[in-house]
Structure 1
């Protein structure tokens, strides 16, 4: 069984009437996977000001940075990679870039998933940025179900009923994002979004995302 722990739920909100202008307050969800095969993964290490609380969270789980084998950032925005430098023993997967120290491992995410082990793979989920990735973990502590950690493919669960929430957060490929949101709903039983708590994927959610995708395809044609 692979143990998934969301160390911190992400958040994002516009600050009303801020004298500095338009200001968004945001930080990402940060997830730990402890694999049954022994590997430890950190996904989206939050902004650099969150370092102390991330170290405390790892300590609570009897881990320290040297115990992390893979440090993964779902995309290259600063709130998703601010503490990657803690994890010097880890292989780093930052969007489509795979590296350790000064070695870079060539992998075409558009052609095939990157496999961590038999239960965990990383796939390309273009949308929020052109090089976004998502982590899919099977056989989890959530009743053996599949959990997807998707970064900002989903901002949070509420953006399913109000798509303007994810569109206003920025999308470099809206129609690809619509397709990948639906695709992920068909793969996963639970989703960890970029800026909100984990949620269960229901048939109603799958139908809504399918309709969103089909309506976008109709508008293109």
Structure 2
């Protein structure tokens, strides 16, 4: 069988762009989703990409889902940890459930998805793990202590695992998108969105395909010397090392 990639949150927004781009690169792609059956079916019908439903915040569901994908498509060589949610609120008004739900989906999912795959990747001496963090995991964002903390954790997870797996031919990298033209950003009030765009030096929002292009590069065999990297794709809005 050929190359197999799993993309979590892979049927909508940036994840859909990543799934499509890897599919065009010749991967057999499994696009994982959790909530919207109708949109997932429409995505599958439009693209021909296989879709699978499970909650990345649940370790048992992840292990079972991965077994299903490998039974259908073959051994997974590329994992894109893209799924994420927001439950925004100022910390002094935030509930424990708002905090923990974001942590489960955005950070616990790193373990839940990667743990079942890391040993087989080590045995094969090859793997590509690409984690999607956020500009707000680098700089923080008011009203997003939960989201910013989780996405900062994704960066730390990436750097540590990259060191563990480098000699096994497995690269682990992290992309930190800035504000991208997705349905989530489109829902921001127009005046707020104007302010966001004004703060981006290139003068526009990013696009899903721009994030997907970086994923495709990191997934290639030719990117084997790039590991532990934290790559900002944010139009110059926030410039930092790591």
Give 1 or 2: higher helix fraction: 2
Give 1 or 2: higher strand fraction: 1
TM class by smaller structure: 0.3 to 0.5
Higher relative contact order (CA 8 A, sep 6+): 2
Using the size of structure 2 for normalisation, the TM-score is: 0.35
